A = this chain, B = another copy of it.
Amino acid sequence: MAVRIDDLDRKILAELQRDASQSLDEIAKTVSSSKTPVWNRIRKMRDAGIIGQQTVILDPEALGFEACFFVLIRTSEHEADWQKSFLKALQERPEVLEAHRLAGDIDYILKVRVRNARAYDAFYQALISEVRVHNVTALLSMEEIKSTTALPL
């Protein structure tokens, strides 16, 4: 599981995170190696699951997704059944971009992207009708100051 990653691997990952459309030659040059070793290492890390999905980042505003909420959820229910249906509800709703189970006072946090406040309300109503939650606080984002998927290797 814990595949050993050396310094060259890290450099390759950093380049891929920065721009995955680069050619092997370009990557090889910037990490001061050459095509074949870079290709072998990428393959190895892909197979190991370290490198996952290759995707494009779209501009949410340009596509009309103008509202972003962070939703803090407290629940009184902690049985396996409840949790299962809650997780299922989250997985099925595409407007939920992230969901974490938390330690402490607040049980879950969600990041939800929708077209506008009305769409958020529709989401909220649908969610609370599907699963019982004790307390929900929505934090409305006014401005996305920073957004990256790049891990600090």
Contacts and interface: CB of A to CB of B under 8 A. Distances in A.
Contacts of A144: 98-100
B55 A149 contact: yes
Nearest to A49: B59
B106 A139 contact: yes
A122 interface: no
B55 A19 contact: yes
Contacts of A13: 56, 58, 63
Nearest to A53: B57
Nearest to A138: B104
Interface in A63-100: 63, 65, 68, 70, 87, 90-91, 94-100
Interface size bracket, A side: 35 or more
B98 A147 contact: yes
Among A49, A57, A91, A140, find the residue whose CB has the most chain B CB atoms closer than 10 A.
Answer: A57
A8 interface: no
Interface string A1-40: 1110100000001001111110000000000000000000
A127 interface: no
